[in-house]
């Protein structure tokens, strides 16, 4: 019977059940196209340093500017999506993404580089926020899985292009790589924009299931109402704790490996032999993507807060184990993989919980407001370097990060879960 219904929905275009999977695919593809703007950036730092003599700190400021504009403007972009639909926002985002990377290739001053990264952050944020919002709107019954798959496109997307980008940088220079991939990425996002649409109320209602009813509270909250809700600020604090706690441990992975004197020690696992740091970074790309749909799917079945409690606790334990046993190259690779696996899921669990709590109508704006927590957390990350300088080791950084994760874990079931239950009764 279920198969017959699915076949009928394909034959008769008025029944648009399969169409939402097309929407999800377009969102994932767009996320893959903008992933390099964050995860591929590291490939360009050394070439720019060698060509112009800019300090790496000055070059990395451009990346910070990108992260801030990519996160803090998402609520504005989400508001436009909720008012005008996803198509124009994705279209403009694709244009800005292409222009930004092309400008990166021509930037011969730091000011030009910073300007280009500002444009890139606006474009990437427009694409990211819209695609996540689309997943939340089209999949009220599988928000965790849909948001996770979409976020996985961003987390793993660069894995497909790291090798060709590296090859072009080596053969033709980093400026050519910026130009070529900027055009390719921008054009693909632009073309995808024509396929995006917003579900109508009837289509959303048809997707409600028993799984969805466990999470969804049944009201569409306006952004102003969301900002006045204590639940939003509890989630925001948890998001900051998780993002900052994880970043403090994993953003400094290279200097940590160097200080532990294991960065270049060969490690052999699953038939692969690589230097410890390279192996760890490779695992990061894969597990940082896999975790998002995996824990999103889990949360669809056992609840958002229960999944948060488990995942966040695993993250805290993984960080403590990495602190204790990280000086062993094999343990360094395995435990860093565990840390990445238990951290990346925040980009599916929090948007899904936001959609469940505050509804689909303004999902892009509301999830965008919550996503600014990533930008807030990024501002806290430099303190990890200050903490290391003050204490003379990475131990305090690891412990601080782990504590942040444990706090967020217990907040999920002791504060967030009861608050959301009480909201249902109102």
| CATH value at residue 143 | 1.20.1250.20
**101 lies in the same domain as 132:** yes
Show the CA angle centred on residue 151, arms to residues 190 and 221, nearest 5°: 90
CB-neighbour burial class of residue 88 (10 A; exposed 0-12, middle 13-18, buried 19+): middle
Residue 264 lies in a domain: yes
State whether 299 and 185 are in the same domain.
Answer: no
Spatial CA neighbour of 139 closest among 309, 25, 35, 234: 25
Q: Per the domain annotation, does 154 fall within a domain?
A: yes
Q: Does residue 127 sit in the same domain as residue 235?
A: no
At 174, list the tokens.
Answer: 């980093």
Q: Are 345 and 119 in contact (CB under 8 A)?
A: no
β-partners of residue 267 are: 274
Does residue 22 belong to any structural domain of this protein?
A: yes
Q: List beta partners, residue 275.
A: 266
Does residue 370 belong to any structural domain of this protein? yes
Number of domains in the chain: 2
The beta-strand segments (E) located in 174-271 are 266-269
**Contact (CB, 8 A) for 80 and 133:** no
Residue 125, domain extent: 14-206
pLDDT at 281: 76
Question: What does DSSP assign to residue 53?
Answer: -
Q: Are 54 and 160 part of one and the same domain?
A: yes
> If residue 55 lies in a helix (H) or strand (E), which one and from where to where?
none
CB 253 within 8 A of CB 281: yes
315 vs 280: CA distance, rounded Å? 16
Cα–Cα distance, 382 to 251 (Å, whole number) = 10
In order along its 426 residues, the chain shows pLDDT tens digits of: 443 444 333 333 344 567 889 999 999 999 999 988 887 887 888 889 889 998 877 887 888 889 889 988 999 998 899 889 999 999 999 999 999 999 999 999 999 999 999 999 999 999 999 999 899 889 888 888 998 899 888 877 777 777 788 889 889 999 999 999 999 999 999 999 999 998 876 655 555 554 444 445 567 899 999 999 999 999 999 999 999 877 776 666 767 787 888 888 988 888 888 888 878 877 877 888 899 999 999 999 999 999 999 999 999 999 999 988 988 999 989 998 899 899 889 999 999 999 999 988 888 899 999 999 988 988 887 777 777 778 877 788 889 999 999 999 999 999 999 999 887 655
- Quick one: pLDDT at residue 10? 36
CA dist 371 → 102, 201, 290, 347, 365 (Å): 27, 25, 20, 8, 10
Mode of pairing for the β-strands spanning 272-275 and 266-269: antiparallel
Tokens of 21: 């999977």
The predicted structure's pLDDT at residue 7: 35
Same domain, 195 and 55: yes
316 plus 169 within the same structural domain: no
Domain boundary among 163, 180, 206: 206
The pLDDT value recorded for residue 211 is 43
Query: In terms of domains, do 89 and 116 share one?
Result: yes
**pTM tops 0.85, yes or no:** no
List 274's β-bridge partners, or say none. Answer: 267
Query: Residue 262: phi, psi to the nearest 5?
Result: -125, 0
**Cα angle 179, 278, 145; round to 5:** 75
Tokens of 128: 């990211």
End of a domain among 184, 206, 228?
A: 206
């Amino acid at each position: 019977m279920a198969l017959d219904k699915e076949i009928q929905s394909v034959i008769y275009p008025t029944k648009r059940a399969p169409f939402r999977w097309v929407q999800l695919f377009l969102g994932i593809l767009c996320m893959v196209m903008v992933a390099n703007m964050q995860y591929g950036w590291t490939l360009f730092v050394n070439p720019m340093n060698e060509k112009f003599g800019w300090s790496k700190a000055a070059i990395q400021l451009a990346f910070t500017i990108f992260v801030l504009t990519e996160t803090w403007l998402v609520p504005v972009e989400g508001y436009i999506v909720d008012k005008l639909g996803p198509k124009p926002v994705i279209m403009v985002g694709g244009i800005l993404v292409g222009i930004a990377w092309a400008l990166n290739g021509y930037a011969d001053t730091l000011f030009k580089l910073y300007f280009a990264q500002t444009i890139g952050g606006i474009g990437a944020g427009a694409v990211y926020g819209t695609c996540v919002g689309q997943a939340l709107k089209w999949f009220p019954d599988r928000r965790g899985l849909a948001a996770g798959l979409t976020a996985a496109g961003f987390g793993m997307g660069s894995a497909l292009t790291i090798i060709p980008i590296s090859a072009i940088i080596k053969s033709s220079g980093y400026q050519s790589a910026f130009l070529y991939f900027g055009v390719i990425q921008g054009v693909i996002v632009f073309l995808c924009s024509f396929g995006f649409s917003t579900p109508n109320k009837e289509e959303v209602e048809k997707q409600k299931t028993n799984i969805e009813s466990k999470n969804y509270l049944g009201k569409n909250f306006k952004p102003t109402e969301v900002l006045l809700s204590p639940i939003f600020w509890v989630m925001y604090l948890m998001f900051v704790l998780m993002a900052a706690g994880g970043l403090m441990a994993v953003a400094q992975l290279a200097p940590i490996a160097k200080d532990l004197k294991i960065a270049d020690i060969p490690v052999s696992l699953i038939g692969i032999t690589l230097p410890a740091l390279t192996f760890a970074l490779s695992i990061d790309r894969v597990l940082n993507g896999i975790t998002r749909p995996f824990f999103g799917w889990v949360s669809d079945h056992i609840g958002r807060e229960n999944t948060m409690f488990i995942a966040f606790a695993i993250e805290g334990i993984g960080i403590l184990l990495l602190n204790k046993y990280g000086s062993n190259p094999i343990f360094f690779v395995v435990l860093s993989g565990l840390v990445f696996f238990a951290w990346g899921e925040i980009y599916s669990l929090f948007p899904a919980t936001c959609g469940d709590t505050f509804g689909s109508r303004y999902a892009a704006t509301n999830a965008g407001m919550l996503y600014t927590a990533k930008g807030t957390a990024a501002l806290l990350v430099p303190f990890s370097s200050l903490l290391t300088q003050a204490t003379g080791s990475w131990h305090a950084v690891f412990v601080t990060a782990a504590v942040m994760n444990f706090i967020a874990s217990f907040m999920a079931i002791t504060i967030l879960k009861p608050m959301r239950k009480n909201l249902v009764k109102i």
